[in-house]
Structure 1
Amino acid sequence: MECLIVDDDPLICDLLNHFCSKVEMITSVTTTNSGFESINLINQKNFGLVLLDYNLPDITGKEILQLVGQHTAVIMITANKDFASESYEYDQIVDFLVKPITFARFFKGIQKAQKFLSGNEQSESQLFIKDGNKLVKVDLNEVLYIRSAANYVQLVLAKKKILTLMTLKEIEQKLPGYFQKVHRSYIVNVNKIDTIATGELKINDEEISISDSYEKELLKKINLLN
Structure 2
Amino acid sequence: MIKAVALDDERPALDVLETFCSRLESITSLKSFTRTGEARLYMESNPVDLVFLDINMPKESGLEFAKTVGRQTAVIFTTAYSEFAVESYEVQALDYLLKPFSFERFTSAVQKAQDRVQALRQNAGNAADGEPAHLFFRVDYGLVKIELSDILFIEGLDNYLKIHVRNGRPLVVRMTMKAMLDKLPQTNFLRVHRSYLVALDKIQGIRNKIIAIGDEEIPIGSSYENEFTARFMK
User: How far apart are the structure 2 equivalents of 1:9 and 1:81?
Assistant: 18
Q: Which residue of 1 aligns with 2:14?
A: 13
TM-score norm. by structure 2 comes to 0.53
Q: Which residue of 1 aligns with 2:49?
A: 48
Q: Which residue of 2 aligns with 1:80?
A: 81
The number of residue pairs the alignment matches comes to 130
| Correspondences of 1:166-205 after superposition (within 5 Å) | none
User: How far apart are the structure 2 equivalents of 1:8 and 1:50?
Assistant: 14
Q: CA deviation at 1:20?
A: 0.2
User: How far apart are the structure 2 equivalents of 1:95 and 1:50?
Assistant: 11
What residue identity is the alignment partner of 1:57? P
Where do 5+ consecutive residues of structure 1 fail to align? 127-138, 143-226
> Contact 1:36 / 1:58 at 8 angstroms: preserved in 2?
no
Q: CA deviation at 1:90?
A: 2.4
For each residue in 1:118-171, what CA deviation from the matched residue of structure 2 results, as whole angstroms up to 9, or x when unmatched? 121222336xxxxxxxxxxxx4248xxxxxxxxxxxxxxxxxxxxxxxxxxxxx
What residue identity is the alignment partner of 1:60? S
What residue identity is the alignment partner of 2:124? E
| Correspondences of 1:19-168 after superposition (within 5 Å) | 19-91=20-92, 93-125=93-125, 139-141=127-129
User: How far apart are the structure 2 equivalents of 1:90 and 1:67?
Assistant: 10
Alpha-carbon RMSD:
1.8
> Contact 1:8 / 1:33 at 8 angstroms: preserved in 2?
yes
Flag the 1:141–1:17 CA change in 2: closer, same or farther, 3 A: farther
Q: Which residue of 2 aligns with 1:202?
A: none
Where do 5+ consecutive residues of structure 2 fail to align? 131-234
User: How far apart are the structure 1 equivalents of 2:122 and 2:91?
Assistant: 20
Q: CA deviation at 1:116?
A: 1.4
For each residue in 1:78-115, what CA deviation from the matched residue of structure 2 results, as whole angstroms up to 9, or x when unmatched? 11111112211223x21100111211111010011111
User: How far apart are the structure 1 equivalents of 2:87 and 2:62?
Assistant: 12
> Contact 1:94 / 1:116 at 8 angstroms: preserved in 2?
no
| Paired-residue identity, % | 36
Aligned to 2:27, the other structure's residue is in SS state coil
User: How far apart are the structure 2 equivalents of 1:73 and 1:48?
Assistant: 6
TM-score norm. by structure 1 comes to 0.54
